[in-house]
Amino acid sequence: MASSLDDEIEALQARVSALKKQLSIHTSTLIAARSTRQLLAQEDNTAIDASLKQKLLTQSDLQQAHNQHCLYRACATLTTFRARDPDPHAVDGGAILGLRIEVTSRAKFLRPYYVLMNRPYVGARHLRVHRHTLPPCIPLAGLAARYLPPPSASSSSRSGGGGGGGDGGSKDTTTRQDLARFARALRREVVRYHHRLGVVADLRKAAGLGRKKDVDEGDDEGGVGQGSRPVQLVDIAPADAETKQITLEWADGRTGRLVMGDDGEIVKLVVLGENGRDREAGRDLLGGAVRVEEVVKRLAAMV
């Protein structure tokens, strides 16, 4: 009885939170609408109190500025900026070229990622990654080696101090760098990583995890069958830093490992039980799916 009451309270709180969110979205949409702005701008409009009218105009201006900011972040997902290294011994006089990467997840902007580059090579204008805020699983070194190779001339060496314009020796810097392709490839890897994280979160939600569940009471939500008796999944979590492998655990002690590709395609699934590999449980979980998103829909349909 107490468990049922707690579930009802939790469901009611979730419903109230969803309604508040919808109300906030509708309010911001109406207050930033062109028709609303025209109505508030009418000087002969006496239907609205002057103080309330000014307050609404202020909120409308703030909402329009927020909309413009979001539009910029959504469209300009890759931007560059200049900065200066405060280290007095920094190369190239402390000049820094920054790359800002914008990513969205679940209709929200995440904190931007930054890659800072400098020019440490004497007699060359080639860039090198200096600092970054990317997750460790992003293959930054490989992408930099591919798209931002160092100059090929033997006389172009690393400078421990300032000055990127040396005047001695050969300047045969035929190795070309492609900053645009480097930035696009880097953002692609970041977006893929966050999409994989989102897939794991969707799997947990579809299986009923992350909420108060009492497995001992025989709750069959999120179950994947063994014959006609569904057995609940009790844990779904990433198994590696890249989130390309997912660990699954069932209430009856079985464990599984799902491997997905860069873009969410299913590479392999192995389920192990008491008697070794359980191929039937793997087939029941996948149901012919070729992408992890299809497994999410399949689990959600079982709840």
Spatial separation of the C-alpha atoms in residues 208 and 230, rounded to whole Å: 14
The Cβ of residue 119 has, within 10 Å, a number of other Cβ atoms equal to 21
Cβ–Cβ < 8 Å for 248, 260 = no
Backbone Cα Rg of the chain? 27
Cβ–Cβ < 8 Å for 285, 224 = yes
Residue 169, SS3 per DSSP: coil
CA distances from 178 to 96, 146, 173, 175 (A): 17, 9, 14, 10
The first and second tokens of residue 261, run together, are: 């590709």
For residue 57, the model assigns a pLDDT of 80
pLDDT profile of the chain (303 residues), mean per 10: 77 89 83 78 68 80 83 84 91 92 85 94 90 94 94 55 45 76 95 92 84 40 43 85 91 89 89 86 85 86 69
CA distances from 251 to 225, 228, 273 (A): 12, 16, 11
Residue 209, SS3 per DSSP: coil
- Burial pattern 177-208, b for ≥16 Cβ within 10 A else e, equals beeeebbebbbebbbbbbbbebbbbbbbbbbb
The first and second tokens of residue 70, run together, are: 């979001």
Cβ–Cβ < 8 Å for 221, 303 = yes
Burial of 246 (0-12, 13-18, 19+ CB in 10 A): buried
7 Cα distance to chain centroid: 31
CB within 8 Å of 176: residues ≥ 6 apart: none
For residue 225, the model assigns a pLDDT of 46
The conformational region for residue 190 under phi > 0 = left, psi -120 to 50 = alpha, else beta, is: alpha
77 Cα distance to chain centroid: 13
Number of residues in the chain: 303
Spatial separation of the C-alpha atoms in residues 155 and 161, rounded to whole Å: 16
For residue 101, the model assigns a pLDDT of 94
Cβ–Cβ < 8 Å for 260, 246 = yes
Element counts in the chain: helices (H) and strands (E): 7, 12
The Cβ of residue 243 has, within 10 Å, a number of other Cβ atoms equal to 21
* Beta-bridge partners for 117: 97, 129
Spatial separation of the C-alpha atoms in residues 96 and 118, rounded to whole Å: 5
Spatial separation of the C-alpha atoms in residues 61 and 155, rounded to whole Å: 57
